[in-house]
Structure 1
């Protein structure tokens, strides 16, 4: 199946009962500026582009939100517990992006979308949620070209410094996505390449 546009991605997700169940469960928390993001979206796209009959399992399902009024990690764990009560078979991960800049040693984020734009890889910088009309909407701060063309690149933010690029390099080696999706091509940028580009 060909995937060419954001509408194609949205249609894929809307026709996936399992994914819609997860999105609706996340919505039930009524979190500010919430999204289900990263591998949840990317994995679906890559599975379809590879013609897989079975869904690739996810190490976690990332739910992000933005609430500067309460940045306690305890709250995130309580939210994960609420999600597990509804769907105990899902590996939920809930993170308030109003505090995650501290974990990632970055300047404060201004919103969940701002945080997603600063994920290491373009193919990970994706999120979905429901709008007020109960329709799926997609955020893709780095665009969708890389994910639909099966190419892994650093986001513009991670390309800005050699230190961030090293984080990107370590992540893509650890993830080893090519071993699961053999059509995926990862841009393995060397330290020498980084210095030349900066």
Structure 2
């Protein structure tokens, strides 16, 4: 069972699984060419590709879009972020999926209006990934110069391979977690969805933090 392997073997298994998604590989290549500061491909397309591989589905099954996060706090205006978004639309044109590019340095400016809770300014893209509603979502990958993969996985990879959805009650409200989990379970009924905790819990054990493959 992959979720019980040593971390270095899990990392190799992650790269193997993600490499079966040809769209994902193309997004990685094109994102690297944009030279965005502190960028990662992150969110659903990563762990959902693993879920598809583990459950013998097509690697792209159920994946609607791909997210590229970057961090640039030199200019927090919408105009600066929009210029990057417009450039990325040209870079990712022709792909059979939508790719969204967002500056995580600006999230605190709009988060409360959208989700109803305040968000302190992030200090990095990694900090933004840390705040996803489920620990399973806390995963980022990018290409480094030379072609190696940089993986950020603060909660490790065991839950990803074991099809476990675990809440991460650090920012997103309970209803966001439960809505996402319900939507995922409709497409991947094999998932084990854990309940939102009644009280705050201690921090999880360290996982994979900026490993390369």
Regarding TM over 0.5, the answer is yes
Deviation digits for residues 111-158 of structure 1 (CA, Å, limit 9, x no counterpart):
101110111111111111011221122111122121111111112524
Paired residue for 1:62, among 61, 64, 67? 67
Distance 1:183 1:15, change over 3 A: closer
Paired residue for 1:100, among 99, 107, 122? 107
Answering whether residue 33 of structure 2 is matched by residue 28 of structure 1, we say: yes
Distance 1:143 1:102, change over 3 A: farther
Paired residues of 2:41 and 2:141 also in contact (CA < 8 A): yes
TM-score using structure 1 length:
0.83
Deviates most, 95-104 or 113-122: 95-104
Aligned residues: 189
| Alignment partners' CA distance in 1, 2:21 and 2:160 | 19
Shift of 1:87: 3.0
Distance 1:54 1:136, change over 3 A: closer
| Alignment partners' CA distance in 2, 1:82 and 1:40 | 22
Distance 1:11 1:21, change over 3 A: same
Aligned to 1:194: 198
Aligned to 2:188: 181
Aligned to 2:47: 42
TM-score using structure 2 length:
0.78
Answering whether residue 134 of structure 2 is matched by residue 121 of structure 1, we say: yes
Distance 1:53 1:91, change over 3 A: closer
| Alignment partners' CA distance in 2, 1:81 and 1:137 | 26
Aligned to 2:173: 164
| Alignment partners' CA distance in 2, 1:112 and 1:197 | 24
Aligned to 1:155: 168
Any unmatched runs of 5+ in structure 2?
112-117, 203-213
| Alignment partners' CA distance in 2, 1:100 and 1:171 | 19
Answering whether residue 45 of structure 2 is matched by residue 78 of structure 1, we say: no
| Alignment partners' CA distance in 2, 1:197 and 1:38 | 23
**Alignment root-mean-square deviation, CA:** 2.5
